[in-house]
Each structure stands twice: as C-alpha cells, then as structure tokens.
Structure 1
Amino acid sequence: MFEQLVEAARKLESASLLPDAPELLSSAVPAQFTLDDIRSLATQIQDKSDTTAVLSAIYIALKSNKLGTQLNGDDDDDDDDGTHNIVLEDISLHIGQMMVPVCSGATFDEDSTDYTSLSHNSLLGVHILKLLLSLTSGGSPVLPTKSLLSVIASTNHNDPWTSSTCADLARSLLSDYFRRIPPPQATKPVTSLPPRSIRDSRVEREPSEKKPPKTERARFITEDVLTDFLRPLFAKSRPTTVTASGRPAAFPEPASRYSQGDGFGGADEATITKPWKYTQRYAVTVFEWAVENTDGNLLQECWPLYTPILLTLLDEPQPVSLKLRALSILRKFWRLCPEGLLSRTGLADVFEQAVFPIVLSLPSLTPEDESCDLLAAAYPALFDIAGLDYPGPEMAENEVSKAGSTNNYKLSDKQHLQSTGFSEAQRKLLDKLISSAKRYATL
C-alpha cells in the first residue's frame, strides 16, 4: 500500500525538509488507510538503510488527512478505545526501536557511525510519537518503555545523534507525557483490627508513617531507567570503591595500573564490558536525564541506584568529553541530594577520591586545552563535595582589587580565615588542594 510513498521518501535529500515533506509527497499518500496499515508499514522494514525512508513515510502519512477512523476488520461504528490504544502502543514500540541511536561503528580506535542518519531518525521518531500521542482515545496515554528511552536519548543537543530542534521537541514530549498521567491515589489506612497476639500484648505501637505513592515519573526513573535499563549496562565496569548496591566498599581492591582505559583486552572486550561508552553511548544521556528529573525526596530513598553509575563515569579516564560530562552530572546530583546524605553514608569520601586525581591533569602530560577544561570542572565539583562556595571570577577580581587597595589586607584576610567555621573535612580538602597545586607549580 505504501510502496510508492516509501520510494518517494527515499529520494528526499535531507530530513531538514521535514516541515515541507507532507506537501512535497502528498500525492504519494494512499487515498485512505488505517492505523493497522501504519503498523504493518512499521513492522515490514527489512533493511536498516530503509529506516529513514520508512519513518519519513509514516510521518507523512500521519500528517495527512487520509487516516481512517476504523481499524481493519472493525465493522462497528464505535471504535473500541482499548484496541485503538493497543495499536498505537504497538506502532510506538516499533518507532522507538527504529529511532534508537545505536553507534554500531564505534570502536576504541575510530568511530564510523553514520550520525547524520541517526539524527534524522531521532527527529522523525520524536515527531511521529508526538502525533501518535495526539491520537490516543480515552484514558491516560501510554508509551512503551523502549520508546520513552529512545526519546530521552535525544534530549541533549550536544550529542551527535540529535540536534537542538530534536532535543527541544523530545523534552517537550516527555514533559507533556508525564503531565497527562494522573497522580497515583493515596493509600487508605488499614482499618481492620490487628492480630489478637498484638492486641493482647498491651504494647502501644506508634503509627507508621505512610510514604506518599510515587508519581509515574519517579516510578519510571527508579524502575525502568535505573534498575532495568542502566544497571545491566554498567554492571561489568563498576569501580571497586563501591558495591553493586551503591554503598562504599568496606575493603576496596586497588585498581591495577594496567586496567585503566581500554585497548588491552581488545575492542571487542571493551564494547562488551562498557556498552555505555561504545554501542549504547546514549545511556549516558539517559542517566543525565534521570538525574535532572529527580528530586531530594526520591534521592533520599533511592540514592544507591545512582551512585554506582556516577562513580563508573567518573572513573573512566578517556575521552575528556566524557570526563567533563561526568563532572557536570555529579554537580547536578550533589545539589539535589539532601544535605549530609552522602556524608552520612560514607560516599562523600569516595566521590572526593574519584574527582581529586583530575586536578592533577596538568601539562605537559595533559594537553593545555584539555587541562584547562578539566581543572575548570574538577575544582567546582570538589568544592561542592566539601560544601563550600566556589570562588568564581568575580570574587577573585574583588579579592585582587582589595589586596591592591589596602596594606592590611593580608592581616584582615588571615583573621577572616581563622574566624570562619570550616569543618575538619573541609580543612583537609583545602589543604590537599593547595599542597598539590604548590607541588606541581614547582615542577
């Protein structure tokens, strides 16, 4: 049915023609079709090289006014909402599978992935899912988990498989989707009498505080994203400083100097142990989205789901872009955590040990431009861990001007430092930073 439309879509030079595509190819759209026909088109794809053409054809068809209101084989005038939505979910699942940005050509030495095609597929996929959501009949919209993960993978415009337009559209779709899902109903307290053994014990028990039910967004983040999707991907590359449950390891094994980086076990081994760095690089974007969309209450309860993944990213030495991104995610995570949570769990020291070596990335072992980027990201992260305000450029300029305008600056500054209530941990970190800076300044 859609052969002519797919063939015409193959001739499109670029997905940048997306807004004009329905008008350019409207003559190739069948006179009338149903959602079942769209589902058949989405499932009949044979060659991955046809993915962009099939997605284009589906988008063009859905944008036309030729979509029938009945499903194939449905003789009833009143369409069954349940069946209708099931078909929509099925189509959404196939769209999500087609738009997932798998970097099949990524290796340690080179990356031959066709990011242009991945970018086109992401943009088309997000547009199609947005159209499918608008066709939902009754009840709450439901997108399969795999489709939502594919949309989340497109939310960072810095990734090579997406664009600013696609990232904005993906974030808008996710916001609208979770907003349309009604909040969970509060659990009613149990009114039945307790067992006789408890009633006869004459022990007064304090009523247990009932936790409010998780929102769909919170449930999706903790269960579908962190537990089911991300944990298996990062399981084989977790650092020894943290356990699989996300807590500090009691007796961490020192990392071998030969285990740093990739390449010793070959490219195949690296892609198996670190799929999040190679074939499924979008996993980092998904984790970043999970951090950005959490809150203090969720972190208070589920912080062990985040820490192994974050420490794994911080422990990865190369590439520099990944290290910078890990530091950025760390700062977002730390600011959202309830005050003192990671210190009480012992993870503050673990994160400090993971970040501190980065401030030693100095020339000539590290290229100057990379060193500047790493230091500019590592120092603020360490100050966040210590609970200190990082002195930005404006503060530094003010201090310099004060030093030049008064002869008593050094004396007043010393008195100020002595009167400031630094904790012992903060003093140790500051001393460690200053000592390392002095040591490397003399080299």
Structure 2
Amino acid sequence: MFEELLKAASQHGQVGSPATVPSEIAQCLPSAFSLQDILDELVGSDSQEKGDIKSLRALQACIDSDRLDRESCTQPEALERLAKYVARGISLGASPSGIDAAKVKIAAAQGELGLRILSDLGNNLNAHLGPDVLLPVTAYTNSSDPWTTPASPALASAILDRSLDTGGSRATFITSTVLTGFLRPLFVKSRPSTVTAAGRKAEFPEPASRYQSSLSGPPETETKPWKHGHRHAVAVFEWAVHAADAELLARHWHMYTPMLLTLLDEPAAPVKVRALSIFGAFWARCPPSLMARVGLADVFEQAIFPAVLDLPSLTPEDESVRILDAAYPALFQITGLAYPEGDIGEPVKQASFTDAQRKLLDKIIREGILVGYHHASEYIRVTELLCKKAQSIVNGMGILSDLIPMISSVATDPFGTKYPPALLAAIHLLQAIMRCCWPRITGYNTDIVKVLTICYLNIEDEDDYPQGAPSKEDVVSELAKSAEILSAIMKANGDNLSETMAPLIEKEPLLQNLFTPLKDD
C-alpha cells in the first residue's frame, strides 16, 4: 500500500524543511488509509524497530493528510505504539564517540521531523505520550546542541509542557525517568569524592583525582559515558534543572548534586561553561539557604572557584574569557550578590550577608579578581571582564579594597586606547566605587585625578583610535561624568576640584575640555 510513498520518501525525504511535506511525497499517498494500515505497513510488527528519516517523512505525510481515516485514530494503544516508534527514531542513543559529526545534519533534521510528528499526535489525535516517549524529547530542548535545529527546542518544550501539565506527572517524570532511570547510571562512575552516592556532603572526602591520568584507572570512555557515548545526557540534565521548581528541589536536591558537581569538575571548557550555566539555574531554583543548611554551599564554592584561575597563557584567552564570564556569576549567586552587571546607578541597600558570604566575597576580590589581573593583565579582554565583575561586587557591597591601583593601571596604560572596551570597563568600575564608597574616597582624590587626566590625554593623543563601539566620544563622556562625580564628592567634603585642577589645566590646556563642567564650582 505504501510502496510508492516509501520510494518517494527515500528519494526526497531529506529535501526541504521538516515543517512541510514535499509534494513529490504527498502525491504518492494512497487514496484512503487507516491508522492500522500505517502500523501494519510502515511501523511493522517488531517493537524494537525505529524509524529512519525516510520512514518518518512517509509517516509525516500520512499524519498530515486528509486521506487518513480519523475515526480509526481513537485507539490509545495504537497511538501509543506509533508514538514509541517515532520516539525510537529520534532517540540519540549511544555510540563510542557520540554522534557522528558527518551525520549530525541528518540527525538534526530527523529529530525535528520526529518532534513535529509527536506534536501532531498529541495535539491533533490526543495521543498519550508516555515517559519512554518523552525522554528522548528532552535531548532537543537546547538550541546550542549540534543535533537540534532552530525549531527543535520550541517543539520539544511544547510537547513536554503539554504532556507533563498534570498533578505530579512532571516531578515523577524528572525524578524517576530522567534522574534515576537515565542519568544516574551514566554519572555514577565519575562522581566526585566531595559528595556521597546519595548526593550529600562527604564528611571524609578522598583526595581529589580531577587531573588523575587515565593510565592509572579505567579509560574515560568507561567512567564518563555521559561525555562520550551519550553526549546528549548533559542536555537532558539541563532540562531536568530548568523544569524543576523550588518544591521539587527542596525534596529531591540530593538527586541533582552528584551530577552537577561531576559536570563542574570537568576540565573541558565547553562542558565547564555549560555546567556553570546549569549551576546558575539550579541555585536560582533552590529554596533560599537550602544548600548552606545541608552543607553543600562550600562544596559548590570549592568546585567553582578554581575556574576563576583558568587564565592565559595556560588557558587560551578566548576560552578563559568564556569560563570566567560564567564562573564569577556562579560565585556571586553563592554569596547572595544580587547586583546585575553594568548597574552604576545609586547604590541599593542589600540584604545582610552572612559571615561565610562576606568571606567568599573577599576571597573573590583578593584571590580571584586581583590575582587574575596581576597574572594576566597583558590580556586585555580578560582585564575588561575582571573590571566588570569587580563592578558587580562594588555595587552590591560597597567594597573599596585594592581596586583603585588596578583601575589606574588599566586606564593609564598608554596602549589602552587600542582596546577601548577595557578603558570603559575600568571607568565604569571607578564610577561604581565613587558612588558606593564616596565617604572613603577622600584619600584617593589624587589617584582618581591621575586616572582621569592621563586616560583623557592618551585618548586625545591617539592618532589611530579604533572604529566601532565604544567610540572616542563615548569614553570621553564617561570620563567627564567621572569628573563630575569626583567634584560632587570633594564638594561634600569641603574641597574644590576646580582649584585642584587649575594648575594642571594651566600647564596642559587640553584638560580644560574634560573639566569644563567644573568651572563654576
């Protein structure tokens, strides 16, 4: 009955978008057919058989066609059998090296095609999609994965939301099917020693073996199947975190922690960056202070903090920037720091920090940002990022610390004009310090004047200022704003910036353009 259809699907199955059925395939459909015909002729009797892209394209044509007898599509068992067939077709399965890169484009198209069929089965035919059908769907929820298409994440999320919108079905699916049934066996051999198999803090952890050579133990392909044979396991775990709420995590946090710490312990940059992002979603969904109460806050701190020292030249600059940009926000979450990056407005009173949180914030400044800057100051993009992260801490806590010398070094560098974003980041950090720590700024007035004047003169002397954002005018404007803030602080303390600048302007008239707004002070 479907011979011509399958032949056409074989020839044209990979042509065009999975969103539409090619006309060459649609015209080969029988004049009338039932769901049982589809099961007998296309699905077959072998329950382990799965559809390839050819058979899924043929199936899509059948489901979308008005030639299908809709009255035959009312048997739940038949619809469930069809759904399982499609789910096996989009299951990424396991292979020694993960998904073959040469076939990833076909896998992505086949995945979207199967998702569209499952969506039609659920929305149009009211098919019940069970856990074994939904599990492979979770692997398509992140658009950054190579086996997804731009349309796949929205389709997968819609299928999951529709199928898991009742009572405790979502929690049961996450805890039983995803975490226990699928993920736990893949992560059990690579669990870090800082947590027990039950996901709780290990009171007597074994010495860390993060960088232990595979020659002294089983190969990584055996201990980390989630990384090699089942690359989609990270995407599935990521969905399980994002799909959870505070109530679920309050009861089942111990099921997440071993896997999350395993990912955070992974030295490979792409996995580490993604793990830090997943940690952010996990921490945001946890009930307040839960991790501190169960003793895991410091375990996560110890797992994440080494990432802020992934610096050039041991770590390539691009890779380092990606890691640092994910690691610092993760640490900020542990400290309870709520300030968004880039906020240099009036300081907002924050909730009180615990002693442990204050200690970590101080550690981030002294052992993270300052150490990172002194170690990698010649890498300008790293310097820019460190200034931005320091700004978040200053805005959140009003910490002055030893940041002024770092700002001075960045802003007065004669080669700083070659990368204006770093100059702007340093100036914004200076503004944040002046706004949040103004009662303690008096002792730094001379240093700040030095920063503003030398930075401005370097910009004016630059003959080949880089094109793009931020422009020369943008940076000069922020310098002038900084001068206004300093003037207001000095005035509040009974000093006058105009008088301080007068001898300097007389010696270098060009500075008058920067301090012109102050002439009437």
The TM tier, using the shorter chain, reads: 0.7 to 0.9
1:5-404 to 2 correspondences below 5 Å? 5-12=5-12, 14=14, 16-21=16-21, 23-40=23-40, 41-43=42-44, 51-69=52-70, 84-102=75-93, 104=95, 106=97, 112=101, 114-134=103-123, 136=125, 141-179=127-165, 181=166, 183=167, 215-256=168-209, 258-259=211-212, 269-318=219-268, 320-390=269-339, 392-395=341-344
Distance 1:16-1:275 versus aligned 2 partners, 3 A rule = farther
Distance 1:16-1:392 versus aligned 2 partners, 3 A rule = same
Q: Shift of the alpha carbon at 1:144?
A: 2.6
Q: Which runs of 5+ in 2 are unaligned?
A: 376-521
- What secondary structure sits across from 1:25 in the alignment? helix
Q: Shift of the alpha carbon at 1:284?
A: 1.2
Give the partner amino acid of 1:344: R
Q: Which runs of 5+ in 1 are unaligned?
A: 72-78, 184-214, 400-412
Q: Shift of the alpha carbon at 1:379?
A: 0.6
Residues 356 and 382 in structure 1, CA contact (< 8 A), matched pair in contact too: yes
TM-score by length of 2: 0.66
Residues 8 and 24 in structure 2, CA contact (< 8 A), matched pair in contact too: no
Cα-Cα RMSD: 3.0
Distance 1:55-1:427 versus aligned 2 partners, 3 A rule = same
Residues 96 and 221 in structure 2, CA contact (< 8 A), matched pair in contact too: no
Instruction: Measure the CA separation in 2 of the matches of 1:338 and 1:15.
Output: 49
Residues 14 and 53 in structure 2, CA contact (< 8 A), matched pair in contact too: no
Distance 1:162-1:420 versus aligned 2 partners, 3 A rule = closer
Alignment match, 1:423: 354
- Kindly tell me the number of residue pairs found equivalent between the two proteins: 373
Instruction: Measure the CA separation in 2 of the matches of 1:257 and 1:220.
Output: 32
Instruction: Measure the CA separation in 1 of the matches of 2:264 and 2:297.
Output: 14
Residues 246 and 285 in structure 2, CA contact (< 8 A), matched pair in contact too: yes
Moved more, 383-392 or 128-137: 128-137
Instruction: Measure the CA separation in 2 of the matches of 1:426 and 1:95.
Output: 49
Instruction: Measure the CA separation in 2 of the matches of 1:39 and 1:244.
Output: 44
Q: Shift of the alpha carbon at 1:22?
A: 5.0
- What secondary structure sits across from 1:286 in the alignment? helix
Residues 225 and 290 in structure 1, CA contact (< 8 A), matched pair in contact too: yes
CA-to-partner distance for each residue in 1:211-232, whole Å, 9 max, x for gaps? xxxx211221111111111111
Please say which structure displays the higher CA radius of gyration.
2
- What secondary structure sits across from 1:392 in the alignment? coil
Residues 105 and 112 in structure 1, CA contact (< 8 A), matched pair in contact too: no
Residues 106 and 112 in structure 1, CA contact (< 8 A), matched pair in contact too: no
Instruction: Measure the CA separation in 2 of the matches of 1:49 and 1:43.
Output: 10
Give the partner amino acid of 1:98: G
Distance 1:39-1:305 versus aligned 2 partners, 3 A rule = same
Q: Tell me the percent identity.
A: 44
Distance 1:441-1:170 versus aligned 2 partners, 3 A rule = closer
Alignment match, 2:370: 438
Give the partner amino acid of 2:58: A
Distance 1:221-1:124 versus aligned 2 partners, 3 A rule = same
Say which structure, 1 or 2, has more relative contact order (CA 8 Å, 6+ apart).
1
- What secondary structure sits across from 2:95 in the alignment? coil
- What secondary structure sits across from 1:32 in the alignment? coil
Residues 156 and 167 in structure 1, CA contact (< 8 A), matched pair in contact too: yes
Distance 1:87-1:264 versus aligned 2 partners, 3 A rule = farther
Instruction: Measure the CA separation in 2 of the matches of 1:13 and 1:22.
Output: 8
Distance 1:15-1:169 versus aligned 2 partners, 3 A rule = farther
